[in-house]
Amino acid sequence: MRIVMIGSGYVGLVSGACFADFGHDVVCVDSDDAKIAKLKAGGIPIYEPGLDRLVAKNVAAGRLSFTTELAAPVAAADVVFIGVGTPTRRGDGHADLSYVYAAAHEIALALDGFTVIVTKSTVPVGTGDEVERIIREANPGADFAVASNPEFLREGAAIEDFKRPDRIVVGIEDERARAPMEAVYRPLYLNKSPLLFTRRRTSELIKYAANAFLAMKITFINEIADLCEKVEADVQDVARGIGLDNRIGGKFLHAGPGYGGSCFPKDTLALVKTAQDHDSPLRLIETTVAVNDVRKRAMARKVIAAAGGDVRGKTIGVLGLTFKPNTDDMRDAPAIAIVQALRDAGATVRAYDPEGMAAAAPLLGEVAYTDSAYAVAEGASAIVIVTEWDAFRALDFARLKAVMATPVLVDLRNIYRADDLTAAGFIYRSVGRPGDGEPVIHPETVKIPELQ
């Protein structure tokens, strides 16, 4: 199949490279000259494990190419995917669909022969209808069908997710789109990956509903973690105990500083706005969004409490900045709110992240970046693990303690055991677990100046 991927960001580049690896002829199109130049030179604009090798392999095989010119590749394509960004729109919280609609208009002018146009971007219900209207208005004689095919990729494991998916969802209104979409995914379909065909609007809603449900699971266990701290229960055992029930499952039940990233924050908010527009409010998701927003600064209060209740003039070390490990993505990362709150409270912040510091620098203000966890710890009154990178899972406690002003470790990902840190001479705080001892100042009494 001849495939064009409009957009060479996270979704477009991963999807395009994987389609090429299936044997399809793929052209990735992007309006960003610098990005395309980097890809043509063998560079990768994002960090995703294994993506550099996959791209290089398929470029060398002649199955994957990159261009800023849309017209010729679209005219020759069987299937055109729209994989551009749909960020939160400033001012009202809705998904910004301007990039999707601009792509649809440009595609319309280049169509030649029957073509399936597929929204791969995460889009609100009814977007496919508008894409179809735009194309038909721009090119009344075009022969095409519009489908929905949402992605379900986890950053840090995107290639594995694409090649071994839980499901492949395709929404269509025109039956002529079915055969081309089956051909696109035939390598996976032969491996018995479930290929689910639905109506187009249903497909669009499946993506949002899935992300909102997972965000709700994270927020649920975070609130249970808060209760565990009050009643001396262990949230990790609670999560195991409920996760063994196959009606619930153990995934997304890891207590921490709240969800972030490119999907959950914007998708939950967009779903809330869509529901409100249709006079069918989703109260559970509205609460999920609100609780998650508050939690991030609450984690800063936990750090301040562990450091004695006042961090003015003190250095706090932050380990991990990206919203999750194995990515350089800083979008809505909990670290942003945590670092800001620590700085608001007067702390000097020193940080290290294996991949995310370049992306973090424009977002975090006056933060000193280092090249290791041990450099972060030098002179620090406390260090806080915000992102559970593998590099932070086997720290040398004696080496850390030797360079710290005060041996305090706040573990927001529950990587370590309290007994091990206590034996090493640390004051240790985690999330939702007993055995840490009472902090010097209870977190709820710590005041952080609110953002103006």
Inter-axis angle of helices 200-231 and 235-243, nearest 10: 140
* Average of per-residue pLDDT across 42-57: 96
Q: With the C-alpha atoms ordered 270, 271, 275, 280, is the resulting torsion angle positive or negative? A: negative
* Average of per-residue pLDDT across 286-296: 96
- State residue 392's pLDDT score: 97
- State residue 448's pLDDT score: 64
* Average of per-residue pLDDT across 23-52: 96
Inter-axis angle of helices 200-231 and 283-306, nearest 10: 40
Helix/strand/coil for 276: helix
Tens digit of each residue's pLDDT (9 = 90 or more) over 126-180: 999 999 999 999 999 999 999 999 999 999 999 999 999 999 999 999 999 999 9
Give me the chain's average pLDDT, please. Answer: 94
Quote the pTM value. Answer: 0.91
- State residue 262's pLDDT score: 87
CA distances from 126 to 17, 92, 169, 274, 425 (A): 28, 18, 16, 10, 58
pLDDT > 60? residue 254: yes
Count CB-CB contacts under 10 A for residue 115: 26
- State residue 434's pLDDT score: 85
Distance between CA atoms of residues 150 and 100, nearest Å: 14
What share of the chain in percent tops pLDDT 90? 92
Active site residue 263: yes
> Of 18, 28, 228, 263, which one is the catalytic site residue?
263
* Average of per-residue pLDDT across 351-367: 96
- State residue 390's pLDDT score: 97
pLDDT > 50? residue 439: no
Q: Which CATH architecture is the domain 290-445 placed in?
A: 3-Layer(aba) Sandwich (3.40)
pLDDT > 80? residue 437: no
Tens digit of each residue's pLDDT (9 = 90 or more) over 399-422: 999 999 999 999 999 999 999 999
* Average of per-residue pLDDT across 422-441: 78
First to last CA, the chain: 53
Topology match between the domains 2-198 and 290-445: yes
- State residue 440's pLDDT score: 42
* Average of per-residue pLDDT across 190-205: 90
| Residue of higher predicted confidence among 319 and 187 | 319
- State residue 449's pLDDT score: 59
pLDDT > 80? residue 36: yes
What share of the chain in percent tops pLDDT 70? 96
Tens digit of each residue's pLDDT (9 = 90 or more) over 89-112: 988 889 999 999 999 999 999 999
> What residue ranges do the domains of the chain occupy?
2-198, 290-445
- State residue 446's pLDDT score: 58
CATH of domain 2-198: 3.40.50.720
